[in-house]
Structure 1
Amino acid sequence: MTYKILVVDDEPDLEPLVLQRMRRQIRRGRYEFVFAHNGIEALEQLQADPGIDMVVSDINMPRMDGLTLLEQIPNVSPDIRAIIVSAYGDMENIRTAMNRGAFDFVTKPVDFDDLQFTIDRTLEHIEQWREALSTRDKLVALQNELDVASKMQQSILPTAFPTGPSYKTFGTMQPARNVGGDFFDVIRLEDDKVGLAIADVSDKGVPAALFMMSSRTLLKGSAIGMVEGPGAVLTEVNNLLSEDDTTGMFVTMLYAVYDPATGVLTYASGGHDPPLVVHADGTSELQPLTGGIALGVLGGFEFSQESFELQPGDTVCFYTDGVTEATNEQGVLMGIEGVQDLFASAPPVDAEQAGMAMMDRGRAFTGEAPQFDDIPCLTLRRD
């Protein structure tokens, strides 16, 4: 990379001397020098040429001296660094120059070896500064993307949960800093049935949020339009997601339908964790997996389903691996056993309390360890 250096000095002999003494660096393409004879000319060049990286300036010059020039440089570009050339022992001007933003200084008579060393050190600082700015800009862009993804994620999560004379539902989520694509939904169906879904998209950020929104829309449309059951719904959603997909993303999903009239819950899993049923006495068991694959991986796959009856006082919990893979400061996973132990010692009394207890358990277990994944849970209790 070639760095353009503006030399500002009213001595006419300095220009050929600089070009002669710095000829090796010029031939190698590292330095390119331009010249001005006072501060006014220097400012004009800086304004006309945004490619100037550094200024090497004398202090005592006509029309505008070097100290005044130092004050004006940030108005043109705050990223330009300046080296001041000062008389030997002139500490007052050197101190003033440093206070006005000079990065370094050399003294007269100029030792060109020292000048080259000072220039190289300043250029190294410029490279580090630009890298830091680039990193900052990338972090700002990333944070903006994460903010957008977070808003997209929050916008599709339900805030009101269906209830009936004999059941209640509840959902909550603790999002990770690196926003993922987890979501849950509760869907009112015909004949007072309720659809419950929880899902985990394979990626993070805005792409995952977009895929999440697409998955949720397809799920809701399929769930409302079908009467065959959860297996058929996941089959339909999987086929739709697999068509013309170029993102390479997929989503694990569990979809269930609860019939309050019978207490029967029918569910199908697309590569997702099985439901956990917690009884009134705090005992619990995982329901069988249904053998499904993640949605969006392979079109044409037929998803099967299972059914079981919830007894009065039973609570069914849906969750993602954000719960089971929550990790404490020692690197130990909480696992589903951590949730089962929680309910064994304090059986849930309603759907909301069960969901919040799972969140609290996760936070207490992880402590100060960073959270790398969203932690959602969805609960339904038969009263």
Structure 2
Amino acid sequence: MPFKVLIVDDEPDLEVLIRQRFRKKIKDGEFEFSFARNGQEALNIVEEDPTLDVVMSDINMPVMDGLTLLSRLADVDRILKTVIVSAYGDMENIRAAMNRGAYDFLVKPIDFQDLEVTLNRTIQELQTIKKGLRAREELAAIQHELGVAARIQQSMLPSQFPAFPERTEFEIYAQMVRAKEVGGDFYDFFLIGEDLLGFAIGDVAGKGVLASISMAVCRTLLKATAMQGILPGECLKYVNDVLTRQGDSPLFVMMFYGILHTNTGELEYCIAGHTRPYILSNAGFLTTLDEPAGMMAGAFEHATFETGRTILNKNDSIFLFTDGITEAVDTMGNCFSKQRLCGLLEHCAGNPVEEIVGNVMSEVKTFSGNAPQLDDFTAMALKYVGTRAD
């Protein structure tokens, strides 16, 4: 049986190029391609052909764009892998696509050798998943096992607060609510020597058990590297280099890693494709920690990651969150949004970190009600109280 691939792109020349590039594999019965010019055409083909294995879609198309198509494909009750095509560096759309369930991505202009490697890797992943699903059907105790996995995953994250009761220079608090039994969000914090506090938040692309395993790998790798005391940019570069060498299955993670100098308030940080955190001053001013920002880890081999620097003044706080918070939906499909989050944070100036995080999580839960969520909610707040001398 050939592997069936649907190409969704409004460029008519792409069909000719793909048929030419894969002519031998098509002739040998290894691949079978079909083509659609927009997301609606693709959705119709998917509904009519239950044997399709892979959908490769452009993002910008008429009638129905690629991101909308991904959201609609999430409702299809079968095993189907999607690969999206985007402009190089278009992190916003790439991240949105990954959150909607895309397995991998390609950048324009398309390198056909890279396309072939990506298709082969995606198909291998499909075969693995199908084997896993067949095995899972034989396990009557799957729900129990997921419950055990959730408890194990939760036990890996810091949960004792106050985390460092003997330290008066800072306060830190974090909370995570999963969309499913297990998920891909994580957070962590740890002392590096006497005067450095490392802290991180991340979101592994994907959902479910695979994402939870990937989360454990990323968190462990990040902490082991960070404990060497190197700059955040160097730390995330090493994490990226390790992840990109795992060629059997791509592992993408959006994360923020920072180091607070507890004796000065200096903050060193690196943003790898993650949502930008907010700095909340004691006076109530809210600013975004924008630059420098880089690609998510695991996407490109030899990518560079810059270290940014800023100062937290006495009683300033930094609020970090995964995009599951701003993208949480209510029963009408409306998003919680960054605007609503900012308005909430502006009223939290000077509050203890546990109250800041607790208020945000409470508001998100109230907003979303009983609506099913696609992503985890994770938030962390760190306040610089001042030096011990203060």
d(CA) in 2 for partners of 1:248, 1:200: 14
Matches within 5 A, 1:63-82: none
Shift of 1:333: 1.2
- Match of 1:203, SS state, is coil
Distance 2:295 2:246 in 1: 18
| Cα displacement string for residues 171-229 of structure 1 (whole angstroms, at most 9, x for unaligned residues) | 111111253210000011023210010010112222212111111111011101133x1
1:368 aligns with 2:373: no
The superposition leaves residues 321-357 of structure 1 with CA deviations (integer Å, 9 ceiling, x where unpaired) of 1111111122111122222111223435111111111
Q: Which residue number in structure 2 is paired with residue 159 of structure 1?
A: 159
Aligned AA for 2:170? Y
Query: Deviations along 1:273-307, whole A, 9 cap, x unmatched?
Result: 11111122333111114231111122211100211
Equivalent of 1:336 in 335, 338, 351: 338
Q: Is 1:196 matched with 2:194?
A: no
- Identify the residue that residue 319 of structure 1 maps to in structure 2: 321
Q: Does structure 2 conserve the Cα–Cα contact (< 8 Å) formed by 1:153 and 1:181?
A: no
Distance in 2, matches of 1:140 and 1:280, equals 54
Write the distance in 2 (CA, Å) between the matches of 1:210 and 1:345. 37
Equivalent residue letter for 1:200: D
Change (3 A) 1:251 1:144: farther
Aligned counterparts, 1:136-155, within 5 A? 143-144=143-144, 146-155=146-155
Judge conservation of contact 1:153–1:183 (CA < 8 Å) in 2: no
Tell me the distance in 1 between the aligned counterparts of 2:141 and 2:295.
Answer: 34
User: 2:308 aligns to what?
Assistant: 306
**2:178 aligned with 1:175:** yes
Contact kept, 8 Å, 1:149 with 1:179, in 2: the verdict is: yes
* Aligned CA distance change for structure 1 residues 137 and 243 (closer, same or farther; 3 Å): closer
TM-superposed CA distance for 1:155, in Å, is 2.0
**1:243 — aligned with what?**
245
| Aligned partners of 1:148 and 1:206 also within 8 Å | no
Task: Report which of the two structures shows the higher radius of gyration computed on alpha carbons.
Answer: 1
- Any stretches of 5+ residues in structure 1 without a counterpart? 1-133
Deviation at 1:138, TM superposition (A): 7.8
State whether residues 162 and 186 of structure 1, in contact with CA within 8 Å, keep that contact through their aligned partners in structure 2: no
Give the alignment's Cα RMSD to 1 decimal.
2.2
1:293 maps to which residue?
A: 295
Aligned CA distance change for structure 1 residues 343 and 139 (closer, same or farther; 3 Å):
farther
With over 3 angstroms needed to count, the CA separation of the structure-2 counterparts of 1:251 and 1:152, relative to structure 1, is farther
Equivalent residues of 2:243, 2:251 under 8 A apart: no
SS at match of 2:301: coil
2:192/2:229 contact within 8 Å kept: no
Corresponding residue SS for 2:194: helix
The CA distance in 1 between the partners of 2:384 and 2:258, in whole Å, is: 15
- Per-residue CA deviations over 1:13-52 (Å, capped at 9, x if unaligned) read xxxxxxxxxxxxxxxxxxxxxxxxxxxxxxxxxxxxxxxx
For 2:188, the equivalent position in structure 1 comes to: 185
Shift, 1:318, TM fit: 0.9
Q: How far does the alpha carbon of each residue in 1:230-281 deviate from its partner, in whole angstroms, 9 at most, with x for none?
A: 0000001111111133222311110000011111111101110111111223
Distance 1:347 1:303 in 2: 31
Q: Could you tell me which residue of structure 2 aligns to residue 233 of structure 1?
A: 235
Identity rate, percent: 32
Structure number with the higher helix fraction is 1
Question: Unpaired runs of 5+ in structure 2?
Answer: 1-133, 386-390
1-structure distance, mates of 2:146, 2:373 = 15
Are 1:218 and 2:215 an aligned pair? no
Separation of aligned partners in 1, 2:308 and 2:211 = 29
Match of 2:279 in 1: 277
- 8 A Cα contact 1:171 1:355, kept in partner: yes
